[in-house]
Amino acid sequence: MNAYVAMPKGEGKFPAVMVFQEAFGVNQHIREITDRVAELGYVAIAPELFHRQAPAGFEVGYNEFQKIMPIMQTLTPETLLEDVTVTYNWLKANPSVAADKIGCIGFCLGGRVALLTNSALPVKAAISFYGGGAHTMADRVPSLHAPMLFFWGGKDQHIKREHIQTLNDALDAAGKPYICSVISYADHGFNCDARASYHPEASKEAWAMSVTFLKNKLA
Which one from 29, 83, 104, 108 is the annotated catalytic residue? 108
- For the chain, the domains span 3-217
Give the confidence band of 147 by pLDDT, cuts at 50, 70, 90. very high
Give the confidence band of 219 by pLDDT, cuts at 50, 70, 90. very high
User: Rounded CA gap, 213 and 49, in Å?
Assistant: 25
Write the pLDDT tens digit of every residue in 174-204.
Answer: 999 999 999 999 999 999 999 999 999 999 9
Residue 148: CA count within 13 A, CB half-sphere: 35
Give the burial class of 126: count Cβ atoms within 10 A of its Cβ; 0-12 exposed, 13-18 middle, 19 or more buried: buried
pLDDT mean over 115-139 = 98
pLDDT mean over 101-112 = 98
Mean pLDDT of the chain: 97
Residue 56's pLDDT is 96
CA 12, 17, 23, 28 torsion: positive or negative? negative
Q: Is the pTM of this model over 0.85?
A: yes
156 an active-site residue? Answer: yes
Give the confidence band of 119 by pLDDT, cuts at 50, 70, 90. very high
209 residue type, one letter: M
pLDDT mean over 8-13 = 94
User: Rounded CA gap, 120 and 46, in Å?
Assistant: 18
Indicate the pairing of strand 43-47 with strand 14-20. parallel
Its CATH class, for the domain covering 3-217, is: alpha beta
Is 119 in contact with 149 (CB distance < 8 Å)?
no
Give the confidence band of 151 by pLDDT, cuts at 50, 70, 90. very high
What kind and span of H or E run contains 30?
A: helix 28-39
108 an active-site residue? Answer: yes
109-120 and 77-93 helices, crossing angle to 10°: 70
145 an active-site residue? Answer: no
Residue 21's pLDDT is 98
SS3 track for 131-197: CCCHHHHHHHHHHCCCCEEEEEECCCCCCCHHHHHHHHHHHHHHCCCEEEEEECCCCCCCCCCCCCC
Which one from 187, 188, 192, 199 is the annotated catalytic residue? 188
Q: Cα 111 from chain centroid?
A: 4
Which one from 135, 156, 163, 199 is the annotated catalytic residue? 156
